[in-house]
Amino acid sequence: MKDEKQQKLSLKREVGLIGAVSLIAGTMIGSGIFMSPQTVISSVGSSGASLVVWASCGLLVILVSFCYAELGTVIQESGGEYIYILRTSGPVMAFMLAFSSILFVRPAGVAGISLSFAQYVVAPFYPECPPPVSVVKCVAAAAVLVLATVNCMNVRFSMSVQVFFMVAKVVALGVIVVGGAVMLAKGNTESFQNSFENSNVGINPIGVALYQGLWSYDGWNNLNYVTEELKRPEVNLPRALVIAISLVTGLYLLVNVSYLTVMTPKELMSSTAVAVTWGNKVLGSWGWIMSLAAALSAFGSLNGTFFSGGRVCFVAAREGHMPDILSMAHVHRLTPSPALIFTTVISLVVLIPGDFQSIVNYFSFTAWFFYAVTLSGLIYLKIKKPELPRPYSVPIVLPILILLVAIFLVLAPIIDQPQIEYLYVALFILSGAIVYVPFIHFKLCPGMFDKVTTFLQLFLEVVPAEKNL
Return left, alpha or beta for 395; rule: phi > 0 is left, psi -120 to 50 is alpha, else beta. beta
pLDDT digits (tens, 9 = 90+) for 180-218: 888 888 887 777 777 777 777 777 788 778 888 887 888
Average pLDDT over residues 314-321: 82
Residue 339 domain flag: yes
Average pLDDT over residues 276-285: 82
Helix, strand or coil for residue 130? coil
Return left, alpha or beta for 90; rule: phi > 0 is left, psi -120 to 50 is alpha, else beta. left
pLDDT band at 443 (very low <50, low <70, confident <90, very high): low
Query: Please, are residues 14 and 210 in contact by the beta-carbon 8 Å criterion?
Result: no
Q: Round to whole Å and give the CA distance between 149 and 308.
A: 15
More confident residue, 46 or 421: 46
Residue 1 domain flag: no
Identify the pLDDT of residue 387: 86
Residue 268 domain flag: yes
Q: Round to whole Å and give the CA distance between 162 and 9.
A: 25
pLDDT band at 448 (very low <50, low <70, confident <90, very high): low
Share of the chain above pLDDT 90, in %: 13
Burial of 53 (0-12, 13-18, 19+ CB in 10 A): buried
Is 93 a residue whose pLDDT tops 80? yes
Identify the pLDDT of residue 435: 83
Query: Please, are residues 234 and 391 in contact by the beta-carbon 8 Å criterion?
Result: yes
pLDDT band at 359 (very low <50, low <70, confident <90, very high): low
Q: Taking Cα atoms as reference points, which of 27, 48, 366, 420 lies closest to residue 211?
A: 366
pLDDT band at 227 (very low <50, low <70, confident <90, very high): confident
Identify the pLDDT of residue 360: 64
Residue 8 domain flag: no
Query: Please, are residues 432 and 100 in contact by the beta-carbon 8 Å criterion?
Result: yes
The total number of structural domains in the chain stands at 1
Ranking 15-19, 161-165, 316-320, 447-451 by mean pLDDT, the lowest is 447-451
Residue 309 domain flag: yes
Query: Please, are residues 403 and 375 in contact by the beta-carbon 8 Å criterion?
Result: yes
Share of the chain above pLDDT 70, in %: 90
Q: Round to whole Å and give the CA distance between 382 and 395.
A: 9
More confident residue, 118 or 356: 118
Mean pLDDT of the chain: 81
Q: Round to whole Å and give the CA distance between 423 and 85.
A: 23
pLDDT digits (tens, 9 = 90+) for 364-419: 778 888 899 999 999 999 999 888 888 888 899 999 999 998 888 888 777 777 77
Q: Report how far Cα 456 is from the mean position of its chain's Cα atoms.
A: 30
Identify the pLDDT of residue 445: 65
Residue 469 domain flag: no
Residue 3 domain flag: no
Is 466 a residue whose pLDDT tops 60? no
Average pLDDT over residues 346-353: 84
Return all residues near 255 (Cβ < 8 A) that are at least 6 apart: 33, 173, 176, 177, 180
The CATH number covering residue 402 comes to 1.20.1740.10
Containing structural domain, residue 251: 17-463
Average pLDDT over residues 333-350: 81
Identify the pLDDT of residue 444: 66
pLDDT digits (tens, 9 = 90+) for 25-74: 888 887 778 777 888 888 888 888 889 999 999 999 999 999 998 998 88
Identify the pLDDT of residue 355: 66
Is 87 a residue whose pLDDT tops 70? yes
Residue 388 domain flag: yes
Overall pTM surpassing 0.75 (yes/no): yes
What is the DSSP secondary structure assignment for residue 391, as one 8-state letter? S
More confident residue, 319 or 273: 319
Ranking 115-129, 170-184, 322-336, 395-409 by mean pLDDT, the lowest is 322-336
Identify the pLDDT of residue 447: 66
Is 7 a residue whose pLDDT tops 50? no
